[in-house]
Amino acid sequence: MTDNTHTSLQVEKKFFTFAEPPDEMVLDSGARLGPITLAYETLGTLNEDKSNGVLILHACSGDSHVAGYYSGEDKRPGWWDSMVGPGKPVDTNRYFVICSNILGSCMGTTGPTSVNPKTGKPYGFDFPMVTIKDMVKAQKHLMDHLGIDKIMSMMGGSVGGMQVLRWCVDYPEMVRSAIPIATTTRHSAQAIAFNEVARQAIMTDPNWRGGNYYDGQGPDHGLAVARMIGHVTYLSDDSMRSKFGRRLQNRSTLSYDFNGDFEVESYLRHQGSKFVARFDANSLLYITKASDYFDLERGDGNLLVNDKLAGVRFLVISFSSDWLYPTYQSKAIVAALKKNGSDVSFCEIDARWGHDAFLMPNVQMDKIISGFLDRISREC
């Protein structure tokens, strides 16, 4: 990346506050929450009739910083900089991109780390349980604030894909097109199991203290282990074999101790340590639980089988090596949508990097998304 690219796409973290008492937002659980602040980022220019909006929904531990740099001194751009920007697949010369941080996070949006107005202290474990539906409801308030009543397209991978589907179910009249990537309509028992092991790693750390640790040492070890567990699910056997194999870390022989002989051990410990430096343990508990609760097939049938979705155009993308949300789960999304007569395109991309493949630069994905958005834009 050239210095010119670094300095040309400057972005700013913005904040929107709503649901001031006594008009708190009613959550899925029945609890009331307010005030609520959403951190968000916009790139590009909203056109006169406000028809070029593209909403990007981030994954579990992501944030609103989707692309570009906050300053010329930043060493790293936003998390999807390869996808979003001038002349990129989500071209900010043509589209107005919005990305907001999800409810329950710790990256600027109201969550367990936020101050509870009733106590003057961080919510901690007094923060109410939130769901994917609640996250989308909060985003709807942001769209109203921006004056956007019809979103040209929305896209997201993993938990972001869940939000895309929830948007389509709850506010179909606002969605022209949707791109759910590497996602599912509901967690499998295996996905729930991995999340529960990660949560137990945090909650059994003695420094967790029932979620009220903000006045001292937090559950750093438990959070690091939780991230290590999660990171394994984001990769694939092929990618780990290619990247690490059984290579030793800075040694030529086995140590015969537990300090970590293998490169993969060192890598996971490093990922855990990095995560502790940027994320909150309680937020991870709440967000993983929200993803476990997500279920579009509960009750009277698949919520995607809905005549109101017939006018929404879909592009569903999966990856061949994703074993967290395998391709059969994306095909189930496609099958449900076709029952409505929806315009649905589907592509399984051959990629070796597992679930995280949607975050990696990929020429095929770039072309598919760019072409789909161009088609929708011309129709609009």
Active site residues: 158, 322, 355
**Residue that has been written with the tokens 């909203």 in this structure:** 46
Beta bridge partners of 180: 156
Residues whose CB is less than 8 angstroms from the CB of residue 282 and which lie 6 or more positions away in sequence, other chains included:
106, 111, 112, 113, 124, 125, 127, 211
